[in-house]
Amino acid sequence: MMVKEIERSGITVVHVANMTAVAQSIGSNRILKAYSIPAAMADMNETPEIQAKQRYQLMSRALEVLNTEIKEQTVFQ
């Protein structure tokens, strides 16, 4: 719901969430699938080095999602 309220103001938002179905049900438009609930930004079972790469890749992907034209709510992987 916070995502929706921020987007209502005209700000473009990418919602990085593991529970993408919940993100859809509360009205987020650009949704990017995260790794897990307790560790959204990287795989908690990986080494610190790999996690750092995963964070960078996920945030790079988030920037791509922000720059993607969409016509309806969309879940990106």
Binding positions for another protein, rule: CB under 8 A: 1-19, 22-23, 25-30, 34, 37-42, 44, 48, 51-52, 55-56, 58-60, 62-63, 66-73
Q: How far is the CB of 21 from another protein (least distance, A)?
A: 10
Q: How far is the CB of 54 from another protein (least distance, A)?
A: 9
Q: 63: how many CB neighbours lie within 10 A of its CB?
A: 10
- Give the distance from CA 45 to its chain's centroid: 20
Residue 38 corresponds to which amino acid?
P
Q: 39: how many CB neighbours lie within 10 A of its CB?
A: 15
Q: How far is the CB of 75 from another protein (least distance, A)?
A: 14
